[in-house]
Structure 1
């Protein structure tokens, strides 16, 4: 039998109106092998049509009018509903509310939005009219991470839509909406799946490892490895392992202080650590990366700790000076 894939990510969708993007996300989530499932549709308008559609499709709903409520209180209620539904991500789909700073910070990296322009062009409102008036050849749509600054988060994907001669904002908007319905499910799927993507995981490890002084990358037995010291005589302090020797893990191999520590961590936290083939016998531990909730600060700590074991004093002095500063 084929191995089961990772569990779908749990997503709450916030809406304010018809919910056509929510519907596109919902129906895409029901295709075979989908990377996410919608566990809640929440609205700031109890009359929003999106709630009717979600209920008909068996999705849990939550509705609370924002009228007369302090913004922070309304955000807290929406957030609580998402948490109770088990959401790991929040997706805004025509949600016409500006969220409070605290809410956005708590969901940093786990909240997405879609905007009807090719950001950074035309943040805010009237995007189609502005694109036409500017004489642009194309308009489009952007899926981006939500940050405190409106429509300024990292773009995750875009779709371009040609502007026709004599176009009107309404006609252009209708075509851009079709593009939105194709783009949003694709980008959301890719984003929530990145934790099992070896290329994405290696890039994160590479960024953290190469930030350490006198560090360079060199392949070892087909795997990316990271060394400290000169290119000629440097010593390895980390390896990136992509399901080698039959293991299901994508992991970072780093040096442990002792075999007792290695065995203790593997026994106590088998979801986070494993004893790698060959390397394990020499005191290297595998920090499992293809799992939910990886703490990248902890990964950075492991890299620095392993680096210090083999780094020359000239390199450790540089790091200590930087830390002191």
Structure 2
């Protein structure tokens, strides 16, 4: 399965960017860093990324409205074919449009145990509060500052005599360990066959009287007393594809769907001549409402007449 393509946004030295980059060199890492972009052309992390052969982009944000600048960065991420975005010391508040575009696919690392101590001057606040434990958090990015769902945390003990600098230095080590691990888990949760099957199973079995069993080497979903309405296909016939097979109205609709969006739809082996359509699930950018709609439509085409018109 191809690796997820990650763009990393930085504003300074980029030490967390470097941690993500070097972790990505492992053969079993599910992502690769394909772009490092900065809002400061003098950010030291750009030179490091370039030396490691990673494409870079830099543009000063001064004089541009937030949404205008974010549109420039988004265009570069899109041009690089990025599937996910990782903020690594990116000192910019993001526009709602940018956050919405990358919702669920953009992460940030913060040097505290969120929800405690959002924003700046974290280590000073921890020491002023007399806390004995601090740490770092990786979270999904939402429009609110440091407020998205937390995906992972590492606790770091506050030592007697710590200063903001000494505490920050130890937490930075924890950040470098935590960030690649959590990003990898996020990527795998969106693209691994097990995770995709779990999501498909949840949607398929929520339909009335739906059951599952193996059929023709794939896990299939059928209506009790009726026919199969979907199959989960993982590298079936060694095609390297993870997909969902559902019933189209026939080969004409099948052909039209593939022509209109060949990156999403494909003609599956064996079931293709019968008008079934394959929907790719391994691109990392699934529209699950669209998939649910297809499952429902296919269920109606397969259910007994007494059930096909059920409202749900």
| Shorter-normalised TM range | 0.7 to 0.9
Deviation at 1:112, TM superposition (A): 1.7
- Superposed, 1:26-37 pairs within 5 Å as 26-37=21-32
Match of 2:74 in 1: 79
**Structure 1 pair 168/236, CA: closer, same or farther in 2 (3 Å)?**
farther
Gaps of 5+ in 2: none
Distance 2:4 2:116 in 1: 31
Deviation for aligned residue 1:316? 3.6
Classify the secondary structure of the residue corresponding to 1:119: coil
User: What is the CA deviation profile of residues 137-184 of structure 1, one whole-angstrom value per residue up to 9, with x for unaligned ones?
Assistant: 542222222111222223333223233345443322211111111122
Shift of 1:125: 2.8
Report the secondary structure of 1:45's partner residue: coil
Q: Which moved more, 1:146-155 or 1:290-299?
A: 290-299
Moved more, 80-89 or 259-268: 259-268
Distance in 2 separating the partners of 1:125 and 1:315? 57
**Equivalent pair of 2:301/2:308 in contact (CA under 8 Å):** no
Q: Tell me, yes or no, if structure 1 residue 67 matches structure 2 residue 59.
A: no
The equivalent position to 2:265 in structure 1, one of 257, 260, 272, is 272
C-alpha change, 1:139 and 1:226, in structure 2 (3 Å) is: farther
Query: For the Cα contact (< 8 Å) 1:136–1:163, is it kept in 2?
Result: yes
Between 11-20 and 261-270, the greater mean CA deviation after superposition: 261-270
8 Å CA contact 2:40, 2:58 repeated in 1? yes
- Give the superposition deviation at 1:66: 2.5
Deviation at 1:287, TM superposition (A): 2.8
Q: Does 1:239 align with 2:231?
A: yes
Query: Deviation digits for residues 181-209 of structure 1, max 9, x if unmatched?
Result: 11222222333344441111012213433
Number of the residue aligned with 1:323? none
Q: How many residues align?
A: 309
Structure 2 residue aligned with 1:206, among 183, 201, 208? 201
Shift of 1:106: 1.7
Alignment map for 1:163-242 (pairs within 5 Å): 163-212=158-207, 214-220=208-214, 224-228=219-223, 233=225, 236-242=228-234
Pairwise CA distance, 1:247: 4.7
Partner of 2:152: 157
2:242 alignment partner in structure 1: 250
Structure 1, unpaired ranges of 5+: 320-325
CA contact (8 A) 1:241 1:253 kept: yes
Normalization by structure 2: what TM-score?
0.81
Mapped partners of 1:220, 1:82: distance in 2: 40
Residue 121 of structure 1 corresponds to 116
Closer, same or farther: CA 79–217 of 1 in aligned 2, 3 Å: same
Question: What RMSD in Å do the two structures reach over aligned CA positions?
Answer: 3.3
Deviation of 1:92 after TM superposition, in Å, equals 1.0
Cα drift, residue 100 of structure 1 = 0.8
Could you tell me which residue of structure 2 aligns to residue 289 of structure 1? Answer: 281
Using the TM superposition, give the Cα deviation of residue 95 of structure 1 relative to its aligned residue in structure 2, in angstroms.
0.6
Q: CA deviation at 1:280?
A: 5.6
Give the secondary structure class of the aligned counterpart of 2:32: strand
CA contact (8 A) 1:249 1:290 kept: yes
- Offset of 1:252 from its aligned partner? 1.9
- 1:307 shift after superposition: 1.3
Q: For residues 113 and 49 of structure 1, what CA distance do their matches in structure 2 show? A: 19
Distance 1:83 1:223, change over 3 A: closer
SS of 2:93's partner is coil
